[in-house]
Amino acid sequence: MSVTALFSATACGGGGDEGGSGGDRPSVEDIESQIAKSSGDQVTEDQSECLAKTYYESDLSDEAVRLLVEAEDVAKISPEDLSKADQLASKELYDPLVKCLTPAE
């Protein structure tokens, strides 16, 4: 499932541990826009909204979420770009992200 791989890889990308410099978390709309851009037609509008809310409400730092939104190619975000706290938070995102991508019955 390439979309799941894309977003789980994205969940493993993030900002460094700069002690919170920079501040504001990107909005759900900003995150959703990046998801739509990155995934093309691989996700529905409902799925991208779910994914965006999941990232927004996650324990990822503002810097990690900002990196996701500002990346030209989210597939190039590396786990090494993460603080230890963001690495742990990204592991918690896998199941919720998969749930967003699972078709409703």
What pLDDT is stored for residue 50 in this prediction? 95
Q: State the average pLDDT for the chain.
A: 79
Q: Residue 25, SS3? A: coil
Q: Between the ranges 6-15, 47-56, 69-78, where is the mean pLDDT highest? A: 47-56
Q: Does some domain include residue 19?
A: no
CB 60 within 8 A of CB 14: yes
Task: Judge if pTM exceeds 0.85.
Answer: no
Cα–Cα dist 85/101, whole Å: 25
The domain tally of the chain equals 1
Structural domain including 38 reads 2-14+25-101
Confidence band for 23, pLDDT divided at 50, 70 and 90: low
CB 55 within 8 A of CB 65: yes
Cα–Cα dist 62/36, whole Å: 20
Q: Does some domain include residue 47?
A: yes
DSSP type of residue 71: -
